[in-house]
Amino acid sequence: DIEEMEQMINEILDTARRHHMHSKLKRRPVNLVDLLHEVVSAYKEQQTAIELIDLPSCVEIHVDFEQIKIVLKNIINNAIKYSQPDSAPIQISAMLEESYAVVRITDFGIGIPEEDLTHIFEPFYRVDKSRTKDTGGYGLGLSLCKTIMEAHGGKIVVHSRLQEGTTVFLYFPSATTSAV
Ligand code: ATP
Ligand code: MG
């Protein structure tokens, strides 16, 4: 049926984008911790504060700096957009988990209904338009983030509870760490 067809087309487009991006990534060694400080410093004026917690001093990953900035900004923008004025601050932390460097972005905003969680990475998918009419957007952010993370050999995972908040995990492969 149409839905299956749509899904198939999306998968084909996804694979094509991934192959295309993989060959175009400008990878270099990046200290993930410095990158987080840099990105977060641009959000000082926000109503919903952002806290960096539990950061090691150095986590080196091999990534396309500009592309990963796009991912972080999209996730942080969502965390802000889907928080409320009185929500607790957004928390960002980084850790090592087996062969991955993991960034965790937690907000205490409106959350995502369980039945929508499997769809949020689809292009143009937005949860219940009525609750997002003020926030704008096309529903493309997360699908772009997924494409970029997978092009890096990484992955993106979202946990969420309605009315409680959302946590996004970004997994970057083969990291090294050092305490200074
Ligand atoms: P765009 O990113 O293109 O500006 P968008 O933010 O609506 O638009 P996505 O970032 O792809 O699109 O997110 C898809 C949907 O998932 C959103 O419309 C929203 O309903 C839900 N969502 C994403 N992040 C969060 C979050 N942190 N809290 C609650 N809902 C979220
Ligand atoms: Mg978005």
The pLDDT of residue 12:
81
For residue 101, report the distance from its CA to the centre of ligand 2, in Å. 23
Tens-digit pLDDT profile for residues 62-121: 999 999 999 999 999 999 999 998 999 999 999 999 889 999 999 999 999 999 999 999
- Whole-prediction pTM: 0.88
- 62 near 30, Cβ under 8 Å? yes
The pLDDT of residue 15:
77
Distance CA 120, CA 126 (A): 7
Q: What are phi and psi of 124, to 5 degrees?
A: 70, 5
Instruction: Decide whether any atom of ligand 1 lies within 6 Å of the 138 Cβ.
Output: yes
Distance CA 175, CA 180 (A): 16
**Per mean pLDDT, which range of 30-44, 127-141, 148-162 is the poorest?**
127-141
- Residue 139, SS3? coil
Distance CA 107, CA 80 (A): 8
The pLDDT of residue 133:
55
Torsion of CA 81, 116, 72, 82, to 10 degrees: 10
Tens-digit pLDDT profile for residues 68-82: 999 999 999 999 999
Structure tokens at 11: 């998968």
Instruction: Decide whether any atom of ligand 1 lies within 6 Å of the 142 Cβ.
Output: yes
The best mutation among 120, 133, 144 to test binding of ligand 1, ranked by most ligand atoms within 8 Å of the C-beta, falls on: 120
- 42 near 141, Cβ under 8 Å? no
